[in-house]
Chain A
């Protein structure tokens, strides 16, 4: 992720400061996992295309992007959280809650834009509440969000009495819209999510805080970083992205259930890990997540195209995470052990 070292030799001592490393290819791949992901995507794509040329059909490629949009938005938020050493496993439940609230508002005659704002705000409030609870009880966010996931789903069930909420057709404008008649708007929206997270991580004070807190929260606190406030902000941004994901999702499927987003949180965490963010935080970036999400989309599409049992998709998902963990282990082995 980091730029090429600005090789500046103002150092007064002749002692070589750089330790000998392994072979340069191995080092490069370990440090730039995204190259590996890109190669894998191209490789799988090439195989699929050679068996079924329809894979390369522009409509098919675009549908991959379209289908990756919701997961992409959620995974972009998860990237920030995981880098900061936090997890939100209530995002699936949050999406379900926001979706049913939006659907019920629209059905009750509230204007759509207002319903969308309320839906997104619901996610922001839920996410901030997660961080607030974790802070109040000094508890890991993983456990707090495990608890709130149940609460959010329960609220959704109570609101709907478990009845599916059909939304009117005009709510689906978002998923139906294509820029220049080709690019799905939802993909552009998810791209904006990635871009926002990428810019925040790389160029802003908030990004520096995110890495610092994830690397060493005690040192971050002692360097003058307001760790708990920063964590609240991170969760607020996460809530915003999850809220947008809820809007995209409801627009795509045209109906809402409290269980609508179920399982997204784990797929998102998986995509982040496949993208190369260590589960212990402090490192990584959103480019890997983007490719991780894309890879999952390509695999799912490929299994469809090749008429392979779709159950294999779950195995592929799990296998990829194992490979990602393996690469992480390889990387840490190459780092100095002091």
Chain B
């Protein structure tokens, strides 16, 4: 690759005047009968943070691919720093200064930060060997300029999610881009890490880089962006400064309907104690945890990333062995030593990472829905099709039929399949770990509706969520976790975002 580009450039990218660094003009793209983009225009000024929002399928990724040079638009053109092109290629996009931080591109764990940053574009010294020292030096330079805490020589496998994200950004910045596209950069980050990332983004903007910021998290968008473009079904619905906009306004624009029902759920009558936990400890939970959840109740679990919420769910579900403690379901003591026993006892868990740990991607919707149910049936499978058909109906899963491969479903529908697996066994206790992570607003609302249905049927729900509005509006009570300890359980109706945040951080003064 071009060696010149690895040498750190001037401190600022100077542009003449304040004209746009990037202009997409009337871009259209059609896939078969689907119009992915229709006359979409967008301008980006140097130093501007321009948010791109829209539901899944609104055209964000296609637009991003156009910018990356991966997709050639059918109509329209792209102007970057005065150069006009009908389409880009990956190398011309890079040469013109476009760099992209992908959402799910992962790092190679066995390589160092610097090696990951240069992956595929290693500087070559004499004898054709990779010049590791140059890699480290340049990576360190980018890191220093970014003002973040990251060691170029530490192994990627040892990094926290936030540090991995930063490595992706360093990687994108190495080529000194003038336009940086960030796709959902905060999905795997905790609250404080998001704060830090926001600072990094602002710093980049101050250096004159134009940033296109794609996110589902509207509060984040309102906080960081100067302008926002809302896409819906491939059309530009709005492109305007964020000043004066509320997340409600944005949500309305995105879904094209009033978003007042967004976070409202009707409270179900709360019944008997469904699950009682006494003195539970285990890996990541050093201090005994005790609580109870009633039928028809949502007990939310809030805390920073690393507070032990996921670890606690794993102990409750038996996927990790508890060291001590007791659990009572419906007043009966149960021993949960494995997910197998949890399922038999009537506990279901929707994991945070549905692709890696929830779905059988090569199998049908039917088998995915029936997986846990089958375990509770006899040795010969009977009635699977009826069960799956009923669940597809109940859940409103959009599919050609129950034999369709689950991998052909959209993200939201896949999430419904994962949840449907536990509806199938009518589990009285359900653990939800970040159930709406990475799904669009429409699917989110359906998942909220599903949780509401479960509560009306007397199920007890344990909800881990890093989105405070979601936690506040869905929960009846919120368990505050900090450092592997359950520090408090508060009434959700009396709680505020600020109050919870203070509790998560352990701020006790005043």
Q: Give chain A's interface residues, CB within 8 Å of chain B.
A: 2-8, 10-13, 15, 17-20, 203-209, 211-212, 215-216, 218-226, 282-283, 335-336, 338
Q: Shortest beta-carbon distance, A304 to chain B, in Å?
A: 39
Q: Give chain B's interface residues, CB within 8 Å of chain A.
A: 32, 317, 319, 338-340, 342-344, 349, 351, 356-364, 367, 370-372, 374-375, 377-381, 385, 389, 392-393, 396-405, 407-409, 421
* A245 vs B399: C-alpha distance when bound (angstroms): 44
Is B396 touching A11 in the complex (CB atoms < 8 A)?
A: yes
Which A residues lie within 8 Å of B375 (CB)?
205, 223-225
Is A222 touching B363 in the complex (CB atoms < 8 A)?
A: no
Nearest-neighbor residue (CB-CB) of B338 within chain A:
A226
* A211 vs B371: C-alpha distance when bound (angstroms): 10
Is B357 touching A2 in the complex (CB atoms < 8 A)?
A: no
19 CB < 8 A contacts A-B: A2-B364, A5-B402, A8-B392, A8-B401, A11-B397, A11-B398, A17-B404, A18-B408, A204-B381, A205-B377, A205-B379, A212-B363, A212-B367, A215-B362, A216-B360, A220-B371, A223-B421, A224-B339, A224-B344
Is A219 touching B380 in the complex (CB atoms < 8 A)?
A: no
Is A6 touching B401 in the complex (CB atoms < 8 A)?
A: yes
* A204 vs B381: C-alpha distance when bound (angstroms): 5
Contacts A204-B381, A215-B360: A224 and B340 contacting too (C-beta < 8 A)? Answer: yes
Which A residues lie within 8 Å of B362 (CB)?
215, 282-283
Is A19 touching B408 in the complex (CB atoms < 8 A)?
A: yes
- Say which residue of B317, B349, B361 sits within 8 Å of A215 (CB atoms): B361
- Say which residue of A12, A15, A20 sits within 8 Å of B32 (CB atoms): A20
* A199 vs B363: C-alpha distance when bound (angstroms): 18
Is B380 touching A6 in the complex (CB atoms < 8 A)?
A: no
Is B360 touching A212 in the complex (CB atoms < 8 A)?
A: yes
Nearest-neighbor residue (CB-CB) of A216 within chain B:
B360
Contacts A6-B401, A18-B404, A224-B342: A208 and B351 contacting too (C-beta < 8 A)? Answer: no
Which B residues lie within 8 Å of A222 (CB)?
317, 319, 339, 349, 351, 357-358
* A335 vs B406: C-alpha distance when bound (angstroms): 12
* A225 vs B357: C-alpha distance when bound (angstroms): 13
Is A6 touching B404 in the complex (CB atoms < 8 A)?
A: no
Is B367 touching A211 in the complex (CB atoms < 8 A)?
A: yes
Query: 6 closest pairs, A vs B, by CB?
Result: A224-B343, A5-B401, A223-B371, A215-B360, A5-B403, A10-B393
Q: Knowing that A17-B404, A18-B408, A225-B339 are A-B contacts, what are 12 other residue pairs whose CB atoms are under 8 Å apart, sorted by A's residue number?
A: A205-B374, A211-B363, A219-B358, A219-B371, A220-B360, A221-B339, A222-B319, A222-B358, A223-B421, A224-B342, A225-B340, A226-B338
Q: Shortest beta-carbon distance, A149 to chain B, in Å?
A: 29
* A123 vs B59: C-alpha distance when bound (angstroms): 58
Which B residues lie within 8 Å of A3 (CB)?
403
Contacts A215-B361, A219-B358, A223-B371: A336 and B407 contacting too (C-beta < 8 A)? Answer: yes
Q: Shortest beta-carbon distance, A81 to chain B, in Å?
A: 17
Is B400 touching A226 in the complex (CB atoms < 8 A)?
A: no
Which B residues lie within 8 Å of A207 (CB)?
381
- Say which residue of A6, A203, A282, A283 sits within 8 Å of B385 (CB atoms): A6
Which A residues lie within 8 Å of B361 (CB)?
215-216
Is A226 touching B402 in the complex (CB atoms < 8 A)?
A: no
* A27 vs B385: C-alpha distance when bound (angstroms): 24
* A8 vs B390: C-alpha distance when bound (angstroms): 11
Nearest-neighbor residue (CB-CB) of A206 within chain B:
B379
Is A17 touching B363 in the complex (CB atoms < 8 A)?
A: no
Nearest-neighbor residue (CB-CB) of B414 within chain A:
A338
Contacts A5-B401, A6-B401, A211-B363: A17 and B408 contacting too (C-beta < 8 A)? Answer: yes
- Say which residue of B338, B377, B380, B405 sits within 8 Å of A203 (CB atoms): B380
Nearest-neighbor residue (CB-CB) of A208 within chain B:
B374
Nearest-neighbor residue (CB-CB) of B390 within chain A:
A10
* A209 vs B340: C-alpha distance when bound (angstroms): 12
Looking at B343, B360, B364, the one whose CB has the most chain A CB atoms below 10 A away is B360
Is B404 touching A208 in the complex (CB atoms < 8 A)?
A: no
Q: Shortest beta-carbon distance, B201 to chain A, in Å?
A: 27
Which B residues lie within 8 Å of A12 (CB)?
396, 398
Which A residues lie within 8 Å of B397 (CB)?
11
Which A residues lie within 8 Å of B385 (CB)?
6
* A218 vs B379: C-alpha distance when bound (angstroms): 22
Which B residues lie within 8 Å of A216 (CB)?
356-357, 359-361
Q: Shortest beta-carbon distance, A335 to chain B, in Å?
A: 7
Nearest-neighbor residue (CB-CB) of A282 within chain B:
B362
Which A residues lie within 8 Å of B409 (CB)?
17
Is B401 touching A7 in the complex (CB atoms < 8 A)?
A: yes
Which A residues lie within 8 Å of B364 (CB)?
2
- Say which residue of A2, A7, A206 sits within 8 Å of B400 (CB atoms): A7
* A17 vs B351: C-alpha distance when bound (angstroms): 25
Q: Shortest beta-carbon distance, A15 to chain B, in Å?
A: 6
Is A203 touching B398 in the complex (CB atoms < 8 A)?
A: no
Looking at A8, A209, A220, the one whose CB has the most chain B CB atoms below 10 A away is A8
Is B398 touching A13 in the complex (CB atoms < 8 A)?
A: yes
- Say which residue of B351, B379, B403 sits within 8 Å of A204 (CB atoms): B379
Looking at A4, A5, A204, the one whose CB has the most chain B CB atoms below 10 A away is A5
* A204 vs B370: C-alpha distance when bound (angstroms): 13
* A11 vs B407: C-alpha distance when bound (angstroms): 17
Which A residues lie within 8 Å of B405 (CB)?
335
Q: Shortest beta-carbon distance, B165 to chain A, in Å?
A: 21
Is A208 touching B379 in the complex (CB atoms < 8 A)?
A: no
Which A residues lie within 8 Å of B380 (CB)?
203-205
Q: Shortest beta-carbon distance, B290 to chain A, in Å?
A: 25
Looking at A17, A203, A220, the one whose CB has the most chain B CB atoms below 10 A away is A17
Is A2 touching B372 in the complex (CB atoms < 8 A)?
A: no
Looking at A11, A13, A216, A222, the one whose CB has the most chain B CB atoms below 10 A away is A222
Which B residues lie within 8 Å of A336 (CB)?
407-408
- Say which residue of B32, B371, B403 sits within 8 Å of A225 (CB atoms): B371
Which A residues lie within 8 Å of B370 (CB)?
208
Is B378 touching A205 in the complex (CB atoms < 8 A)?
A: yes
Which B residues lie within 8 Å of A225 (CB)?
339-340, 371, 375
- Say which residue of A20, A206, A223 sits within 8 Å of B343 (CB atoms): A223
* A283 vs B359: C-alpha distance when bound (angstroms): 14
Is B363 touching A282 in the complex (CB atoms < 8 A)?
A: yes
Q: Shortest beta-carbon distance, A105 to chain B, in Å?
A: 34
Which A residues lie within 8 Å of B342 (CB)?
224
Is A212 touching B339 in the complex (CB atoms < 8 A)?
A: no
* A19 vs B408: C-alpha distance when bound (angstroms): 8
- Say which residue of B356, B389, B393, B407 sits within 8 Å of A6 (CB atoms): B389
Contacts A10-B393, A224-B372, A226-B340: A218 and B377 contacting too (C-beta < 8 A)? Answer: no
Q: Shortest beta-carbon distance, A234 to chain B, in Å?
A: 14
Q: Shortest beta-carbon distance, B189 to chain A, in Å?
A: 23
* A218 vs B32: C-alpha distance when bound (angstroms): 37
* A5 vs B400: C-alpha distance when bound (angstroms): 8
Which A residues lie within 8 Å of B392 (CB)?
8, 10-11
Looking at A10, A13, A17, A224, the one whose CB has the most chain B CB atoms below 10 A away is A224
Is B371 touching A2 in the complex (CB atoms < 8 A)?
A: no
Is B398 touching A2 in the complex (CB atoms < 8 A)?
A: no
* A282 vs B406: C-alpha distance when bound (angstroms): 13
* A207 vs B381: C-alpha distance when bound (angstroms): 9
* A4 vs B364: C-alpha distance when bound (angstroms): 12
Contacts A8-B401, A221-B339, A223-B372: A335 and B407 contacting too (C-beta < 8 A)? Answer: yes
* A205 vs B392: C-alpha distance when bound (angstroms): 21
Is B379 touching A6 in the complex (CB atoms < 8 A)?
A: no
Contacts A205-B377, A224-B339: A219 and B398 contacting too (C-beta < 8 A)? Answer: no
